[in-house]
Structure 1
Amino acid sequence: MTAAHPFTPQLEFAFTISINLSKPYWVTPPARGDMRAAIYAAEGSIEGPLLNGRVIPMSGGDFPLSRPNGVIDFDARYVLEADDGAIIYLENRGYRWARSDEIAELMRQNQPVSHDSYYMRVTPRFDAPEGPHAWMARHVFIGVAEKIPGANRIHYFVVR
């Protein structure tokens, strides 16, 4: 058994954002080999111990780059509204890839798959106003995401 490093970060569950997505708009055929899409955040909710609220409908979306090797490179930006009315900007960057060709094909068809059959992680940044949500713009987060047909559910953890 190895000892923990003295600087091992601690993770604290903060909240989950569930997002219903619009249909994807693909840039095809791709001129440089990668495919780009535009998928808008139609609506969503935020639930958790540190933040509750909603995703402001159509306030942004994801513009993923689908690489020839099957890795999807996320670039998502949209606006949140906390239950107290505070407006918070979210920028998510991350990756998704399937653990097998069969799972990749099911995901391309927007079919349900088990969360452990793919890797989907994001590193968000938040712009939040001064006040009760300012802590969000002062911490590093990681997100563990679930791909659901027509939606994403992302569980965010504060790195302490």
Structure 2
Amino acid sequence: MTAPALASILPGEMTELRLRPLFLFELAVKPAYVIGNTPGVDRRVGEITGGRFEGERLRGKILSGGSDWQAVRADGAWMLDVRCVMETDDGALIGMTYRGIRHGPKEVLDRIAKGEVVNPSLYYMRATPYFETASEKYNFLNLMAAVAYGHRLATGPIYSVFEIL
């Protein structure tokens, strides 16, 4: 007996991804420390010096002291591993981590590496942020998965973050 096709047993609610805007954020990052070609990747570390976030349900600033660990792979893709602390305008602290990827044509990535701003449609920059907080008001962040669409500015990245419903 042949098993039914997976699509035939999938509930209709699971056939498309539903999103809700959560917030926009930008990071200010110092020029990266270039550790160099380690076994496996070209490693760079950017120190986060601040930033801000704005959304319907929360807003505030990103505190200094976070870091952006970047791994440039042999295929030219940049793997992102970021940790930072957000402080809401009412004083709650939220830890945010995200992993992401940036890739595109070499000439576009070279322009970004030089600090040029290029149209975000010319390259791919996406991330998956996760949050942790002790704040009851912002506990909803502890209970969600999110995705982010990024763009690299000369001073650091800017992202549009969406809650996955």
Which residue in 1 is equivalent to 2:67?
61
Q: Secondary structure at the match of 1:6?
A: helix
Preserved contact between residue 92 and residue 135 of structure 2 (Cα < 8 Å): no
Contact 2:93 2:135 in 1 (8 A): no
CA distance in 1, matches of 2:38, 2:47: 23
Q: Are 2:162 and 1:157 aligned?
A: yes
Distance apart, 1:108 and its partner CA: 1.9
Q: Deviations over 1:5-57 (max 9, x none)?
A: 531231000101111111100112x1324111110111101111121000012
Q: What are the equivalent positions in structure 2 for 1:24-43 lying under 5 Å apart?
A: 24-28=32-36, 30-43=37-50
Specify which of 55, 68, 77 is matched with residue 71 of structure 1.
77
* Equivalence for 1:140: 145
TM-score normalised by the chain length of structure 2? 0.89
What residue number does 1:116 align with? 121
CA–CA separation in structure 1 for the residues paired with 2:59 and 2:98: 18
Bigger Rg, structure 1 or 2: 2
Question: What is the aligned partner in structure 1 of residue 93 from structure 2?
Answer: 87
2:17 aligned to which of 9, 21, 25: 9
1:27 maps to a residue whose letter is I
Determine whether 1:20 maps to 2:25.
no
- Percent identity for Structure 1 against Structure 2: 24
- CA distance in 2 between counterparts of 1:45 and 1:80 reads 8
Return 5+ residue gaps in structure 1 as ranges: none
| Greater than 4 Å deviation, 4+ residue runs | none
Q: SS at the partner of 1:122? A: strand
Structural RMSD (CA): 1.4
2:64 partner SS: coil
